[in-house]
Amino acid sequence: MKVTLLTYTPDPEKTVACAAKLCYSASDVDQLYEGLTREKAAGFVEMLAEIGHESPIEHASFTFALEGVSRSLLAQITRHRLASFSVQSQRYVKESNFDFVTPPEIAADPEANALFVKSMERAVEDYNALADRLQQRHERTFLEAGLPEKEARRKAEKKAIEDARFVLPNACATKMILTMNARSLLNFFRLRCCNRAQWEIKAVADEMLRQVCAVAPTLFASAGPSCYRGSCSEGKMSCQKASQVRAFYTLLHNRQTAGE
């Protein structure tokens, strides 16, 4: 798994503070923006968090690249609908020797891991066999229709992998670029940094949180699972480890504030 913060709104906390101040000021935007020092912007962002005025933080957005994550994670992360996603396509990218993500619990058990690897190898074989068989058939059809050999081969391969991909497992690795505004990110962290979140998306969320805290520490000062700055939202399903969770995220925030 590789998580990279590609880009983000320049001076995100200053942008948020300017947007919030504009709601209550007759001044020109230029005057408001120029009058905001880093300290003033941070203080204003802190005040917004205290009073629960969240709409101004939507003006700051963050774009990440995720690589080496599973298609299983893709199914979960795209449930966060207030986000933009661009995902490597299995229709256009041939997965003739795909990488795959191994769950830690499987990796820790030699027999389970051997069975898992064998399943992945079989999926590769089946995918390639299906793709080759379908491509041969489609290529004959395109040639009979009068297409040049090179074009017939290209179109046949694309048509073949469209259907061959149906045997690919959830473990198949993929890549994506996603963009969320700060308000959506706070909700994402509240849900996905929780101990009850699935292990892969929690690992992604923790790394995303670490990286945004480095560039907008005040904006994300309270970011983490619900129990980090409040009570657990899981009710009877709670992990019962709130103190350990708070210690973990306190350390994460402190390290980023210190520039580690």
Residues designated as active site: 192
Alpha-carbon span 192 to 225, nearest angstrom: 7
Q: The tokens of 25 are what? A: 């000021």
Which of 211, 199, 240 shows the shortest CA–CA distance to 69? 199
Could you tell me how far CA 246 lies from the centroid of its own chain?
23
E strand map for 89-218: 173-181
Q: The tokens of 229 are what? A: 């700055």
Instruction: Assess contact for 153 and 139: CB atoms under 8 A.
Output: yes
Q: The tokens of 91 are what? A: 């229709």
Single-letter code of the amino acid located at 159: K
Alpha-carbon span 46 to 49, nearest angstrom: 5
Using a 10 angstrom Cβ sphere, with 0-12 exposed, 13-18 middle and 19 or more buried, the burial of residue 91 is exposed
Q: What angle do helix axes 110-144 and 149-164 make, rounded to 10 degrees?
A: 140
